[in-house]
Amino acid sequence: MMDADLLLTFNAGSSTVKIGLFEINEIQPRPIGKGLIDLRRRPFTFHLTEGPAVFDVPLDAEATEDLRDVIAETFAILAVNFNMDKVRAVGHRVVHGGDRFAGPVALDEVSIRDIDELTALAPLHQPQALRLIRAVKHLRPALTQTASFDTAFHATQSDLVRRFALPRALHDQGIKRYGFHGLSYAFIAVELRRLAPGAAVGKVVVAHLGSGASLCALEGGVSRDCSMGFSTLDGIPMATRCGTLDPGVLLHLLGPRGRTLQDLEDMLYYHSGLLGVSGISADTRDLLKDERVEAREAIDLFALRIAGEIGRMTATLDGLDGIVFTAGIGEHQPEIRTAICDRLRWLGLALNSEANATNAPIISTSSSCVTAFVIATDEEQIIANEALSVLASK
């Protein structure tokens, strides 16, 4: 059992919890293990990866509202191979920081209260992060906890980009574009500087394509625009979320159609997107294998909206030097990348089909006017880096 100081990270999704374990060293936290708990499936299973070894450990913990038993059992499982007394801090991904948090913070009663007050802006994700924070605090009350915010990376966007065409008083009250997936974009910005420093200083659109999906326009590694705005519903279609929608549709459904607010929220978050269009599946892998016209239409709409959003961001950046595909779909599905890039040939983008088929780091041709990259993202590394920076400042 190793005796180095450790960092633990929790990346709370709407229905899953990704866990990272890091060794603290002089350079940056080094990943030594990772895990996943899917809260949609009963009984819970802790999927643990340690180097080349993979374990699926059933959890006895019940699905309580506070998740205390789940966290306690998770710590106990990790203690089999790691000295959990050496954990110096726990870093959390928190989706929404509003205008209050422009960087990572140590979690205390005040910051936890402030995060809780932002729950209405991210009802799918914020409660889950708060449950984990409070569960760890209950289990290890003296342990330093930190929060890293998805919205913080986009604080560099101009007021013009963040503004809706609504009465100014609403903007001043916080009704504005915030942007999300910021931890992923922060990692890609750093990784692109390492892999392709020439491209990193230019104008790049990053496509974070997973079950939740968005795009971000980077200039010199700094966020200038993004597809998600006030909420995680906005932008391009996702697995079960609608993406950009004419607000007149909502008025029509709430008015003449008599839908309730709860019913509408459920439809927009859980029954729209790829699932809603296809009526078959929310998973692009299933849809790509399905020959029905509805499956093809869902994929085509997904690609069309992404390509259109890249075109819009090219206008924000006043040009485009590169595109980065990342996250589950972006990193592993050549067919989706092809469908998107085929609609961007007007930008001078030429895809190398062989490189694309193998998920190579660069999938454009040498003569392409726009360089297309495939780069794996790592939100946990950013959470760990930021947790260590907060710990050092304390």
Written as tens digits, the pLDDT of the chain (394 aa) is 557 899 999 998 767 788 999 999 878 899 988 888 877 766 677 777 777 777 777 777 776 777 888 888 888 888 888 888 999 999 999 999 999 999 999 999 999 999 999 998 888 789 989 999 999 999 999 999 999 999 999 999 999 999 999 999 999 999 999 999 999 999 999 999 999 999 999 999 999 999 999 999 999 999 999 999 999 999 999 999 999 999 999 999 999 898 999 999 999 999 999 999 999 999 999 999 999 999 999 999 999 999 999 999 999 999 999 999 999 999 999 999 999 999 999 999 999 999 999 999 999 999 999 999 999 999 999 999 999 999 988 7
| Distance, CA of 138 to CA of 123 (rounded, Å) | 23
| Distance, CA of 279 to CA of 267 (rounded, Å) | 13
Q: Is 276 helix (H, G, I), strand (E, B) or coil?
A: helix
Sign of torsion, CA 71 50 327 24? positive
Query: What secondary structure letter does DSSP report for 225?
Result: E
Q: Is 125 helix (H, G, I), strand (E, B) or coil?
A: coil
Do 369 and 319 contact (CB within 8 A), yes or no? no
- Cis-peptide into 256, omega within 30 deg: no
Active site residue 150: yes
Phi, psi dihedral angles at 363 (to 5 degrees): -115, 5
Domains annotated for the chain, with CATH where assigned, are 6-149 (3.30.420.40), 197-374 (3.30.420.40)
**Per the residue annotation, which of 150, 225, 321, 378 is the catalytic one?**
150
- 213's enclosing H/E stretch is strand 213-219
* 6-12/322-326 β-pairing: unpaired
